[in-house]
Structure 1
Amino acid sequence: MQAPSEDRELEAGVVPGRLRFSPSLLAGSPEGLAEVSASLVGAVGSALRARWPEGPLRAGTPADVLATATRALSEPGIPAEGMGTQAALSRLARVLVEQGLHLSHPRAVAHLQPPPLSVAVAADALASASNASLDTYDSGPAAIAVERWLIDGLTRLAGFGARADGVLTPGGSLSNLLGLLLARDAAALRRGVDARRQGVAALSGPVVLCSELAHFSVHRACAALGLGEEAVLPVPTDARRRMRPEALAELLRGLGPERTPLAIVATAGTTDFGSIDPLPQLAELAAEHGVWLHVDAAYGFGALFSERLAGRLAGLERADSVTVDLHKLGWQPAAASVLLVSDAKAFRALDRQVAYLNPSDDSAEGYDGLLGRSLQTTRRPDAVKIAATLLAYGRRGLGEMVDRCHELARYAQQRISTEPELELVAPAELTTVVFRYRVGADPVFEDELNGALRRRLLETGTALIGRTAVRLAGPGSPERVCLKFTLLNPTSTPEDLDGLVDAVLEAGRACSPRIERGAA
């Protein structure tokens, strides 16, 4: 039996030597939300007082930066006693600022990783405080309503009809996986096969056809679905790095009865070049051969916000499924990916009736969630931040941001074209520009030089630019190291880009003699 003093302390919400458990401890209460607000104000204040890097990231080698950040957290291991909410947030804020990445800096142009909008970050905090889940009605009814509103808006933007549907996923790779899973099951259904129960072995030689420049997640998806990466048939691209319809048609005609085409995967915005496959022609071929058309528009879907660029995605409305990443041309905190389908019946392959989640009598009375649209069970309300952005800015506001980034990419392209030391490799289709530092030397030497100048910019914290490999002399030629600007900051200016190009030139000139000495 406990001592009377211990009883009184427990009744008061205090355990000897432990924290006091007050209503403000939990964010899902009015007191907790107030505590979240106060804590964020304090953490933001600590971040503003921190030592911000002069460039997009802290100068130093990876080993030095990572070690400094680790030491700044705490001693090794989980501390036995906590330091309190405000101290913990302040410490993390300083670590993230002083040793992290400054995506809002105009020289942060490496990846399809935008600086997120303030309204989206604030809404994401609200969504996290609710801790709603989308699988069942009683896990988050308001969050379900928000996601359904968002899906309706995105399907309309895509040009889909009344039967369309969609679901949020943890990222574009998972959206592509889900799209190909639905394609596989649709193909199996046409052949009287239950792919869920019989597996892919019941299908004869399943294949997926995609551009040779398609995202690697297509191969990963085929591996995860048990098809194997060898099931991917790459289709050659043209001079603009778009899938060639005549090459696709030839591949489809060449498939014998022992091969089952599960899907054609078109790309609307390749990662490196922003190139968009000819969707109308690919849709015609998909319809002719009765094959599912999946469009990976993870990058390019955002062009639909722009009146100027939306026409480049003509034909998207004929797809069976579409991948959308709004943590790219949507300025959302990751993850904000969506899979859209033209017909909600496609999700039947995911139907599950689980006694503790969605019993049939509850579902019949409307107490149902979104379990049957996803491979996940617990699923956070990522739609909240996207909905806040769309409500705050509307299609026109986001379209202006897309147009601004496209204009910046075109300016960068023009500036690169005027520099004798730089070679423009791919012009701006959307918001990326690919180029190469040239000195008229051996291509292998230039490969080393381009890699070295990028690392120099990283180590000095001067700029964060992208890197890729491109066949400059056509099919079969060696891949060459190229550099890339991915412009997703609508607040950047042409003057910022001039400074960025100047920094690239300076780094190239600094690295060239060192590499020459090394080669000698």
Structure 2
Amino acid sequence: PQEDGQPDALITTGGTESNQLGLLLAREHARARHTEPLRVVCGANAHHSVHRAAWLLGLPEPLTLPTPNGTLTPHTLHTALTDLHHPGTPGPPVLVCATAGTTDTGAIDPLPALADLADTHGARLHVDAAYGGPLLFSDTHRPLLTGLHRAHTVTLDLHKLGWQPVAAGLLAVPATAHLAPLAHRAAYLNADDDTEAGLPDLLGRSLRTTRRPDVLKMAVTLKALGRTGLADLVDRTLAAARGLADLIDAHPAHELHSRPTLSTVLFRPAGADDTTVATIRRRLLHRGRAVLGRAATPTGLWLKATLLNPHTTTDDLTSLLKLVEGHTPR
């Protein structure tokens, strides 16, 4: 939303803390205006930390909507929001949580349409872009995040496509005033006269007191590489994922789940059942050959290759597929 004041961001330990802060700010905004508790609405594709944050904050269990195709559809959200706000009743305050880069497949929810629905129903919008957020660096891939600017809070995590060691999370807001609920005072840390004299008031910008200077490494990377340098790394990494998908598509021994949106590629040996997929993954891990994730979808279990090295070559990817072949039970 376009707001008066400068956009702002908090440094966090990662996507989990950023999502918790996003729900906290929405809860406090709701408390100031409603007697009913905040209702969180998310897709089944949402990161587990959304549910954990609701539990920690004493909110009702999130209304979790089906996402059989991997994303939260506008029709599904429209139906849910309509049910929450019956005609003639104000209904509870609502926070819609969308995802830009899901954990299982890297899918991105249709942000503009979801933002339109949130506006129509008077709901706030939080976007978990921990994985996909750095696409903003890339002129080529930034359009995938169209609509992100309409969120009230946005989770980012440069530990992923920002190539930072943990911790490297952020929570972005359109204006500093949105952070007012975090303001707490302790005379020995942020006395009024010290703050008025220009000393930074960090106590009101985190759930933590003692913190590491995690912003330094992010600043150094941005200074050294700039937007263009980081965009090149993003573009290379996503190109590698598409290259892996091409190799899988061209190999009759393997089955591709879907074309990658970000840098996550799901695949499995053709015709493999869930037990076989799980066995391959554990064999590769225990023998120290490859670390692959796993993703359960409506079509079964898949091996998950999350590519984050922009220097990955076609030979590397071919070797990975040969390792999977060599560790497939006969």
TM-score by length of 1: 0.61
Match of 1:324 in 2: 156
Contact map agreement 2:237 2:263 (CA 8 A) in 1: yes
Render the CA deviation track for 1:459-496: whole Å, top value 9, x for unaligned: 22111111121111xxxxxxx22101101011110111
Match of 2:317 in 1: 497
Provide runs of 4+ in structure 1 moved above 4 Å: 158-162, 256-259
SS in structure 1 of the partner of residue 189 of structure 2 = coil
Q: Displacement of 1:258 after TM fit?
A: 8.1
Cα distance 1:468–1:344, how it changes in 2: closer, same or farther (>3 A)? same
Residue of structure 1 aligned with 2:125, choices 293, 311, 320: 293
Distance (whole Å) between structure 1 residues aligned to residue 278 and residue 3 of structure 2: 44
Residue of structure 1 aligned with 2:281, choices 454, 461, 468: 454
Distance (whole Å) between structure 1 residues aligned to residue 21 and residue 160 of structure 2: 19
Render the CA deviation track for 1:364-401: whole Å, top value 9, x for unaligned: 22233221121111121101000110111111111111
CA RMSD of aligned residues (A): 1.8
Match of 1:171 in 2: 14
Match of 1:70 in 2: none
Contact map agreement 1:160 1:317 (CA 8 A) in 2: no
Distance (whole Å) between structure 2 residues aligned to residue 340 and residue 361 of structure 1: 28
Match of 2:169 in 1: 337
Distance (whole Å) between structure 1 residues aligned to residue 32 and residue 251 of structure 2: 57
TM-score by length of 2: 0.94
Aligned: 1:236 with 2:66: yes
Aligned: 1:372 with 2:210: no
Match of 1:190 in 2: 33
> Unpaired runs of 5+ in structure 1?
1-157, 192-202, 441-445, 473-479, 513-520
Distance (whole Å) between structure 1 residues aligned to residue 3 and residue 193 of structure 2: 32
SS in structure 2 of the partner of residue 248 of structure 1 = helix
**Matches of residues 111-130 of structure 1 in structure 2 within 5 Å?**
none
Cα distance 1:495–1:160, how it changes in 2: closer, same or farther (>3 A)? farther
Render the CA deviation track for 1:396-443: whole Å, top value 9, x for unaligned: 111111111111101111111122232111221010111122346xxx
For the pair shown, the structure with the greater C-alpha radius of gyration is 1
Residue of structure 2 aligned with 1:248, choices 77, 90, 96: 77
Cα distance 1:188–1:391, how it changes in 2: closer, same or farther (>3 A)? same
SS in structure 1 of the partner of residue 246 of structure 2 = helix
**Matches of residues 106-505 of structure 1 in structure 2 within 5 Å?**
162-191=5-34, 203-228=35-60, 230=61, 232-237=62-67, 239=69, 241-255=70-84, 256=86, 257=89, 259-439=91-271, 446-472=273-299, 480-505=300-325
Contact map agreement 1:238 1:244 (CA 8 A) in 2: no
**Matches of residues 4-23 of structure 1 in structure 2 within 5 Å?**
none
Distance (whole Å) between structure 2 residues aligned to residue 409 and residue 372 of structure 1: 40
Match of 1:19 in 2: none
Distance (whole Å) between structure 2 residues aligned to residue 405 and residue 168 of structure 1: 25
Distance (whole Å) between structure 2 residues aligned to residue 274 and residue 459 of structure 1: 26
Aligned residues: 327
Render the CA deviation track for 1:125-159: whole Å, top value 9, x for unaligned: xxxxxxxxxxxxxxxxxxxxxxxxxxxxxxxxx99
Equivalent AA in structure 2 for residue 397 of structure 1 = G
Q: Displacement of 1:261 after TM fit?
A: 3.4
> Unpaired runs of 5+ in structure 2?
none
Distance (whole Å) between structure 2 residues aligned to residue 318 and residue 490 of structure 1: 30
Distance (whole Å) between structure 2 residues aligned to residue 365 and residue 161 of structure 1: 24
Q: Displacement of 1:160 after TM fit?
A: 8.4
Equivalent AA in structure 2 for residue 211 of structure 1 = G
Equivalent AA in structure 2 for residue 296 of structure 1 = D
Percentage identity across paired residues of the two chains: 46
Cα distance 1:389–1:411, how it changes in 2: closer, same or farther (>3 A)? same
SS in structure 2 of the partner of residue 348 of structure 1 = helix
SS in structure 2 of the partner of residue 260 of structure 1 = coil
- More helix by proportion, 1 or 2? 1
SS in structure 2 of the partner of residue 452 of structure 1 = helix
